[in-house]
Structure formats: structure tokens, C-alpha cells
């Protein structure tokens, strides 16, 4: 089974801090994704990566950056955290190829910015 592991289930940070959310997958997937999930808004794509050191903006990249130095690890960075970034963050991975490939999700990190 594919395992996508997010480093923290719960995280509390302060406004202005630089925050790192880590995600690791163990199935040699090329593609990795970061989403945020908010009530009434569903899941929205922040950034994704289809190869090491490659990254693409999703629908809501403002205030975020990402890093993919190794194939199995994809980090989401909040450069200067703000209260409107309080949310559930979900990481996912998938095989490369066509659009038939499903995404496999981690359990999420619930981030609170005070």
C-alpha cells in the first residue's frame, strides 16, 4: 500500500513565523501535491511538483512556497504565517502518466496560526 506521511498531525504557530510542513511518500511517485481544506470550500490546490526540483503553482499559491530536493519528500513553506492560513493541509502523491492515476493522501496537518 502507498504510504504518504505528514510529519505533524497538529501544529500551532504564531503570526509572522516561518512554518515548514513536511510530507514523505514511499512509493517512488513522481508527482506530489499540497492542498488546503477549509469548511465550505473543499480542497484547493496550493502547489504541485512532477519531478525533483520542479514545482508548479496551483490555484492558491500566494503566501506559500515549496521545496522538492528529493523524490520522496515535498515540503510546504509558509514564509510569514498569517491567521488566514489556519487550515487543514493535505499532501498527496501519484504516479506520472495520464490523468487516470489516482492521488494518495496523507492524514493531514491541522495548522493553527495565532
Partner 1 sequence: GDSVTQMEGPVTLSEEAFLTINCTYTATGYPSLFWYVQYPGEGLQLLLKATKADDKGSNKGFEATYRKETTSFHLEKGSVQVSDSAVYFCALSDPRLYSGGGADGLTFGKGTHLIIQP
Shortest CB 24 distance to partner 1, Å: 14
User: What would you report as the CA-atom Rg of the chain, rounded to the nearest whole angstrom?
Assistant: 13
Sign of CA dihedral 32, 59, 56, 81: negative
Q: Which is nearer to partner 1, 75 or 103 (CB)?
A: 103
Q: Which is nearer to partner 1, 40 or 84 (CB)?
A: 40
Shortest CB 47 distance to partner 1, Å: 10
Q: Is 83 helix (H, G, I), strand (E, B) or coil?
A: helix
Question: In whole angstroms, what is the distance from residue 78 CA to residue 108 CA?
Answer: 16
Shortest CB 113 distance to partner 1, Å: 21
DSSP state of 57: E
Residues in contact with partner 1 by the rule CB under 8 A: 4, 30-31, 33, 40-45, 48-51, 54, 56, 58, 90, 92, 94, 96, 98-108
Amino acid at each position: 500500500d502507498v504510504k504518504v506521511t505528514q510529519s505533524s498531525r497538529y501544529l500551532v504557530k504564531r503570526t509572522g513565523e516561518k512554518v515548514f510542513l513536511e510530507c514523505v511518500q514511499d512509493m517512488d511517485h513522481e508527482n506530489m501535491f499540497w492542498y488546503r481544506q477549509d469548511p465550505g470550500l473543499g480542497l484547493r490546490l496550493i502547489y504541485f511538483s512532477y519531478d525533483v526540483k520542479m514545482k508548479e503553482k496551483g490555484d492558491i499559491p500566494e503566501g506559500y512556497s515549496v521545496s522538492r530536493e528529493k523524490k520522496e519528500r515535498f515540503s510546504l513553506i509558509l514564509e510569514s504565517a498569517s491567521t488566514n492560513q489556519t487550515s487543514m493541509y493535505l499532501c498527496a502523491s501519484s504516479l506520472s502518466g495520464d490523468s487516470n492515476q489516482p492521488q494518495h493522501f496523507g492524514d493531514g496537518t491541522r495548522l493553527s496560526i495565532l
